[in-house]
Structure 1
């Protein structure tokens, strides 16, 4: 009976948004669009999300829908959006004997606010992100890799700094880059094994950038930046690294996708 998925519903993030009676359906639709835009901004494919409006409503609700994601085992709920009327505050007022009303200066009236609630499953969202991001990819030449295509804003490690070899001053330069970035981003230093094996390790944990210090770095102050998803490489000035990581990994870029 979907044991693992059902166990992923005990941690919730909920918000109750208070509105004027009679405007709840307008706000319910507003929050539907806002929350769906957030999910789709993660970049896992618009077609993998859908609404499931409830036909049978709880006794306190006048509208309810679920945001569903297309897991490997089918579409399942990750978030609910409900118009709860005045059930919550009305019952608080009834059983406490204390008035819970808001005076609206625009209408000159007092009323018990209606509630529009969004409730997202933290565990289910984690499961959704992991199942969407995990990829086993076949490469040219018969090679393969495991890559975690996490949205850069969600990736736990933003960049790995790698000296090509453990000599010729490369580790020292790499450590200086770590010291420059570590106060703003979670970065790691890795000098073990071949650079190819180090790339694979970072792919598997979803690190968006691998920054390699090589023989050219000491000559012109540039490093090789490898991008996780495309595996493309480019030469970048050391002083430009901070801005590059910030641009790609910040929530600003994610929020701009909402277009709200």
Structure 2
């Protein structure tokens, strides 16, 4: 069995974030007691709350805020011809190259992209752009020898061995296959889906007819996908088992670019609304388009290891529905009544598709990297460092912590009463161990926006002290106001308001 590969950490900040994620229950290496499994991770008790909040926000942003977008949950196993129609069986490959000295395998295109990023960081963006453009032409022409020559010409070395002793470049299919059937001789090869989009396409008519949907309309889905990645690096950025959040928006042919631009702007605004700084985001237009697209771009975030894709916006034309229609011999067309109202004849057509596809795990990593803060604070005559997660309150795993000042004098009982009242509305923590300062620190480290201290004055006038995570400021308020105070900060409405 493959073990968790020990690769060099590209950046000291990323190393700190990875360590923090494990120590405070966000991300664990999978099967760690057996030395792990390469490129597979488990979400811990804090991580699963944060990830669920991210997914829930995305889902509501798509389906609740848009009357013409509905949801779907398609099966992971699909008929193998689905992947023949989509092109994955024949062309879902990555170019791989091995270093003969380190025995490590790399994606050839990623090595070249990282070299281009190095040029850009050194102030020579033109050289970096020229390099990626040249690589794109070579890959489009399937000139793998040319790709290898490009790597050697640019003096790209293996980060492990430090040498440029490379093998030839080969194509590597990324799909996992398995067998289905009760006995071996009757079994059939099927695939673990490498993307969630095809489940939407094959259900296009089911959703359209049962939901009486009119073009334009969208179908959203969150689900697991699987890719046998050649190289797994950069923590959860590139994994073999991951989660996608995709929405396929079906439009009338000829209107796709209008919708492409609208969803491009809408999705960037969404990332900024959850607290991602605008200067940490950028659009990257594709020079080399996928076989199904007539326009494509990435929304990239500046991770500690550079700008990398978080979300893709693609105009997929009618490729997918047409392919499935031809191979299945079932019509996947839409009868557009509205054409007649516009003075055009009624007609059937295969809709064009605009896609937004975001990786839930990459989005999680982006949120975590953006939230991770280290600062120097002064308390009295001393200065000390402080680490905290500046998560948007709506995404924070825990919304508030109830902290009795002491474990006696009736304070735990009063604190428990407050906790019991609020736990039905918010994910809460009750804690009474250690000093109040240490408890504040622990909550800062997991990103809890509010700490509610219950002291002796609480027993007298039913007021508590509420500490803000980001400013560390404390305010006194009645217990009766806690629910509305917390809700104002953590409700998704605070994000939705920025999207309209």
Instruction: Quickly name the TM-score band, shorter chain normalised.
Output: over 0.9
Residue 325 of structure 2: which of 87, 90, 93 is its match?
93
**For the residues of structure 1 that align with 2:450 and 2:278, how far apart are their CA atoms?**
25
Aligned to 2:359: 121
Q: Secondary structure at the match of 1:11?
A: strand
1:194 is aligned to 2:426: no
Larger CA Rg, structure 1 vs 2: 2
- CA–CA distance in structure 1, aligned partners of residues 247 and 276 of structure 2: 24
2:373 aligned partner: 135
- Give the Cα separation in 2 of the matches to 1:40 and 1:8: 25
Q: d(CA) in 1 for partners of 2:360 and 2:315? A: 21
Check if 1:177 corresponds to 2:418: yes
The residue that corresponds to 2:406 in the other structure is 165
Q: Deviations over 1:44-97 (max 9, x none)?
A: 311110100112212221100000001112111000010000001011111111
2: CA distance between counterparts of 1:31 and 1:211? 40
Gaps of 5+ in 2: 1-105, 107-230, 340-345
**2:371 and 2:408 mapped to 1: Cα distance?**
36
Residue number in structure 2 paired with 1:235: 476
Q: In structure 2, how many angstroms separate the alpha carbons of the residues matched to 1:225 and 1:109?
A: 62
Aligned length: 259
What residue number does 2:294 align with? 62
- Does structure 2 conserve the Cα–Cα contact (< 8 Å) formed by 1:8 and 1:124? no
RMSD (Å), alpha carbons: 1.3
Give the Cα–Cα distance (whole angstroms) in 2 for the partners of residues 18 and 44 of structure 1.
29
Q: Which runs of 5+ in 1 are unaligned?
A: none
Q: Deviation at 1:144? A: 2.1
| 1:141-160 matched pairs, under 5 angstroms | 141-160=382-401
What SS is found at the alignment partner of 2:456? coil
Q: 2:253: which partner in 1?
A: 21
Segments ≥4 residues shifted beyond 6 Å: none
How big is each residue's C-alpha offset from its partner over 1:140-196, in whole Å with a ceiling of 9 and x where there is no partner? 121222101111111111000001111221111110110011011110111001000
- Distance in 1, Cα, partners of 2:239 & 2:375: 27
Displacement of 1:8: 4.1
SS in 2 for 1:142: strand
Deviation at 1:135, TM superposition (A): 1.3
Q: Is 1:104 matched up with 2:342?
A: no
Q: Distance in 2 between matches of 1:180 and 1:144?
A: 35
* Distance (whole Å) between structure 2 residues aligned to residue 76 and residue 52 of structure 1: 9
**Distance in structure 1 (CA, Å) of the matches to 2:329 and 2:255:** 26
Question: Helix, strand or coil: the match of 2:276?
Answer: coil
Q: Please, what TM-score do these two structures have when normalized by structure 1?
A: 0.96
The structure with higher relative contact order (CA 8 Å, sep 6+) is: 1
